[in-house]
């Protein structure tokens, strides 16, 4: 009996040791799992932190840009977005959405409009994850603080009229698409250089002007801004004296031209952006207009306000080059 009792005691002790060993193993596994969870959390934190990039804007703001923004508002900069293959969540408009950048509607036709002045309520309603502002003037008077409460806000340029090529590069940087932006610019430069050679061979030093007719008033483009920059710098065309004279005293893209100055416009070719095509304009029947050399010789090339001639950017400028080649090269 004593031997039997000792045997059962040994068995009981062995079972107890096995039980204790199993408990210890479970604790180790639990600790291991806890450590694994901690490592996973650290990994997720690192990944979360990498979901944004810090980019400094023209005003010195360090802006946390989402790695892949999906709801972008970049009012009046849509040309650059489309060139990069990006569709904004809302597009620039005036007159209660009735006027948009017509030449971009092949890409933006289904995109809702937002007023050009970007009211806070309208911006908020689109739930943007990134706002891109063209210039510092768009965010003055505490507007930047208000917009940045809605979404990360990046200001592209500090001036009212910024060099569009630099804007293209900056916007490429915002989206981490520097290489694509440079490709767009390289393609444009090659196209402009080829067009310059063709057009100058066709018309030599004949002068060219761009006029905009709106509300029975003529406006003339500046020599170094908007489509003037394309005509006189990229394509190297000759500016009439009136264009150079008016450009010296204005910072506007388009400046009103008086009838007196219109009479002095000795342009051989005119690109006319006519915002009154539908209703007509008595100005086009005036003798002052009819006596301009380009008008008398039938060298007026008319476009609607839906064309790209009132805008600038890689797509707008490329379209204008196509128009210039079509009209000036036989």
Mean pLDDT of the chain, nearest integer: 89
- pLDDT for residue 22: 53
201-328 is a CATH 3.40.50.1980 domain: yes
Higher pLDDT, 207 or 3: 207
Q: How confident is the model at residue 43 (pLDDT cuts 50, 70, 90)?
A: very low
Mean pLDDT of 56-61: 96
Tokens found for residue 207: 């002068």
Question: Model confidence at 1, in pLDDT bands (50, 70, 90)?
Answer: very low
Side-chain-side CA neighbours of 36 within 13 Å: the count stands at 6
The model carries a pTM of 0.83
Residue 173 has a pLDDT of 97
Q: Which of 19-33, 41-55, 158-172 has the highest mean pLDDT?
A: 158-172
Fold exhibited by the domain 52-181: Rossmann fold (3.40.50)
Going by DSSP bridges, is the β-strand pair 254-256/217-221 parallel, antiparallel, or unpaired? antiparallel
pLDDT grade for 23, boundaries at 50, 70 and 90: low
Q: Is the pLDDT of residue 26 over 60?
A: no
- Sign of the torsion angle spanned by Cα atoms 314, 317, 318, 319: positive
Q: Is 45 left (phi over 0), alpha (psi -120 to 50) or beta?
A: alpha
Task: State residue 280's pLDDT score.
Answer: 85
Is the distance from CB of 202 to CB of 194 less than 8 angstroms?
no
Q: Would you state the pLDDT for residue 13?
A: 54
Domain extent listing, the chain: 52-181, 201-328
The pLDDT tens digits of the residues spanning 258-313 come to 999 999 999 999 999 999 988 888 899 999 999 999 999 999 999 999 999 999 99
pLDDT in tens, 81-125: 999 999 999 999 999 998 999 999 999 999 999 999 999 999 999
The answer, yes or no, to whether residue 39 has pLDDT greater than 80, is no
pLDDT: is 323 or 14 the higher one? Answer: 323
What is the rounded average pLDDT of the residues 220-238? 97
Between 148 and 1, whose confidence is greater?
A: 148
Residue with structure tokens 């031997």?
A: 3
Taking the CA atoms of residue 77, residue 83, residue 89 and residue 93 in that order, the dihedral angle to the nearest 10 degrees is: 40
Which of 264, 271, 285, 201 has its CA nearest to residue 236? 201
What is the mean pLDDT of the segment spanning 57-75? 96
Q: Which residue has the higher pLDDT, 28 or 142?
A: 142
Region 61-87 average pLDDT: 97
Query: What was the pLDDT predicted at 56?
Result: 97
**What is the model's pLDDT at position 38?**
46
Query: What pLDDT score does 158 carry?
Result: 87
- Tokens for 196? 């310059």
């Amino acid at each position: 009996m004593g031997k039997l009792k000792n045997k059962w005691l040994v068995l009981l002790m062995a079972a107890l040791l096995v039980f204790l060993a199993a408990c210890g193993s479970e604790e180790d596994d639990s600790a291991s799992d806890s450590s694994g969870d901690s490592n996973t959390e650290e990994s997720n934190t690192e990944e979360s932190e990498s979901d944004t990039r810090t980019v400094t804007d023209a005003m010195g703001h360090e802006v946390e840009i989402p790695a892949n923004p999906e709801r972008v508002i970049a009012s009046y900069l849509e040309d650059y977005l489309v060139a990069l293959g990006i569709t904004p969540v809302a597009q620039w408009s005036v007159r209660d959405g009735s006027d948009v950048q017509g030449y971009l509607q092949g890409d933006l036709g289904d995109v809702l409009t937002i007023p050009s002045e970007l009211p806070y309520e309208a911006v908020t309603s689109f739930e943007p994850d990134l706002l891109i502002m063209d210039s510092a003037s768009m965010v003055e008077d505490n507007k930047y603080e208000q917009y940045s409460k809605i979404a990360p806000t990046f200001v592209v340029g500090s001036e009212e009229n910024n060099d569009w090529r630099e804007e293209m590069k900056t916007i490429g940087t915002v989206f981490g698409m520097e290489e694509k932006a440079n490709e767009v610019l390289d393609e444009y430069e090659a196209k402009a250089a080829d067009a310059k050679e063709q057009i100058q061979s066709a018309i030599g030093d004949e002068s060219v002007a761009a006029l905009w007719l709106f509300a029975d008033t003529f406006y003339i483009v500046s020599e170094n801004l908007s489509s003037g920059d394309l005509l006189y710098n990229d394509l190297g065309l000759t500016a009439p004296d009136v264009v150079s004279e008016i450009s010296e005293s204005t910072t506007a893209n388009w400046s009103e031209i008086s009838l007196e100055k219109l009479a002095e416009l000795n342009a051989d070719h005119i690109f006319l952006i006519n915002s009154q095509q539908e209703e007509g304009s008595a100005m086009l029947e005036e003798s002052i207009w009819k006596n301009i050399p380009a008008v008398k010789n039938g060298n007026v090339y008319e476009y609607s306000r839906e064309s790209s001639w009132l805008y600038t950017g890689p797509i707008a400028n490329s379209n204008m080059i196509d128009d210039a080649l079509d009209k000036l090269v036989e």
